[in-house]
Amino acid sequence: MSKAKILILGGGFGGVFTALELAGSADVTLISDADHFLFTPMLYEYLSGEVEAWHIAPRYDELLNDNIHFVQATITGIDLASQSVSLKGHEPLDYDALVLAIGGVTNYVGVEGAEEFTLPFRKLSHADNLRQRMVAALDRIPPDFAPQDARRETTFAVVGAGASGCELSTKMADLLNDAFTRRALQGEPRVLVIEMGDRVVPGMGDQIRQFVEDALHESRVEVHTKTRVVKVTADEITFEHEGRQESLKTAGVVWTGGVKMSPLIDHLDVEKSKRGLLVVQPTLQLSQHVNVFALGDIAFYPDATPTLAGTAQLAFQQATLAARNIKAYMAGEEMHTKHFEELGEAISLGTERAAVLTGGKAFGGALARQARFALYTSRLPTWQHRLRVGASWFLGGTTPQPLLPLGLER
Ligand SMILES: Cc1cc2nc3c(=O)[nH]c(=O)nc-3n(C[C@H](O)[C@H](O)[C@H](O)COP(=O)(O)OP(=O)(O)OC[C@H]3O[C@@H](n4cnc5c(N)ncnc54)[C@H](O)[C@@H]3O)c2cc1C
């Protein structure tokens, strides 16, 4: 008897971990547009050179075993009625069971110029672009430049002071400050983080927020809360605070202001939440299509701690449930449900520090940075990869790579 065909759409946290758990139990195909997985929580360390691409972005052909087919293609349509998926430059594929794990896309919330002129920060290439932008800004500064001119040339804004915006802005500030010292430039760079709400990391608890606020201060990041970005151009950002608008010349604006659903999900005619997420049953199935499972950033799962929404932690935990239930569905057995809790929080703060919340206790500094590396090594997708990465960090260290002049850069 031929094995059931399972298509998994998306090779991120939800898709890869589901595929690895299902390997061998069915005819499993994973489809993704990139050739590598990305461990997004360490993209900041990739920006700073504390880790290399192979550590956090292993290629699927190294990661997936022989029991999983991998198709690198852009998914262009999902037809739940005919049970088929269309792909760019590839024959459509049909399925017996489908896993939807395509994650979200950057949400520019309609801000004028944001999509065209800001730098997104979700992929390896985005981190490369941002690093190049910082190097180019530094390279434009002659050694005798006045402090205020050097500061203007190296003004960067990060939009959104969620975990991502705070991790990124502290990392950028530390790298730029270090480059000013190494290059003997006068004055200091300027990094702003701009947030509409009244505080930084609004989704995190007060204990960890204190570490984040201290780190922003130590890295000399300017924090602008209750501030709304209204316009971005190639070299300027305009924001509004208490009814007053201000425009600043910038060398770059990075957008970490939120996530929205991909048009592929928008087009599905199934039950959605107010934010457009797919409402899933406690088994992760869509109620009108029992052979379709959804997880990660695109799924609204009612039985999870609210702070888990939109996190790798949730997608990672859901993958185990998805794989288990797909096996049960194929065997005609009873489905399982699970309540998802937070596994702890870890946030990178600049190039020397981090903060970790575990077992209700928060700690920070260089020790937390090491703990975060250890924690994330244990969460990498396969034990072979964990072993290689762990050994590389243990033996080779995780020192940041300074922003060197173009030509000497990595
Ligand atoms: C910079 C950054 C840092 C983060 N840090 C943390 C953190 O510290 N802790 C935490 O818990 N969460 C973190 N997150 C959030 C976390 O990455 C997501 O919640 C998680 O990745 C969601 O998993 P997913 O499987 O739903 O989607 P994703 O991991 O986003 O995977 C989606 C996959 O689908 C593919 N795809 C999408 N559209 C198509 C298409 N049309 N065709 C083919 N393939 C497609 C993508 O290439 C990707 O491989 C971070 C996110 C970012 C961007």
CB 211 within 8 A of CB 218: no
Please state the atom number of ligand 1 nearest to the C-alpha of residue 121.
1
From 105, 118, 81, select the one nearest 33 (Cα to Cα): 105
The pLDDT, as a whole number, for residue 388 is: 93
* Residue 37 in contact with ligand 1 by CB distance below 6 A: no
Q: Is the CB of 350 under 6 A from ligand 1?
A: no
CB-based contact 133:251 (threshold 8 Å): yes
Q: Is the CB of 257 under 6 A from ligand 1?
A: no
- Which residue matches tokens 């935990």? 317
CA of 141 to the centre of ligand 1 (A): 36
Distance 264 CA to ligand 1 centre (A): 15
Phi-psi region of 284 (alpha: psi -120 to 50; beta: other; left: phi over 0): left
Tell me the CA–centroid distance for residue 13 and ligand 1, in Å: 6
Which parts of the chain register pLDDT below 70? 1
Q: How far is the CA of 70 from the centre of ligand 1 (A)?
A: 18
Q: Is the separation of the CB atoms in 334 and 194 below 8 Å?
A: no
Ligand 1 binding pocket mutation candidate from 71, 297, 341 (most atoms within 8 A of CB): 297
The residue ranges of DSSP E strands in 38-189, in sequence order, are: 68-72, 75-79, 84-87, 90-94, 97-100, 105-106, 119-120, 155-159
Q: What separation in Å is there between the alpha carbon of 99 and the centre of ligand 1?
A: 15
Q: What CA–CA distances, in Å, run from 308 to 203, 279, 301, 302, 316?
A: 9, 16, 10, 11, 11
Contact by Cβ (8 Å): 56, 348? no
Q: What is the pTM of this model?
A: 0.96
Under 8 Å CB-to-CB from 116, ≥6 apart: which residues?
A: 232
Q: What tokens were used for 156?
A: 């960067």
- Residue 410: CB atoms within 10 A of its CB come to 11
Protein residue with its CA nearest to atom 25 in ligand 1: 14
How many angstroms is it from 254 CA to the middle of ligand 1? 18
Q: How far is the CA of 277 from the centre of ligand 1 (A)?
A: 15
pLDDT of residue 1: 57
Ligand 1 proximity of 70 Cβ (cutoff 6 Å):
no
Q: Going by DSSP bridges, is the β-strand pair 244-249/252-255 parallel, antiparallel, or unpaired? A: unpaired
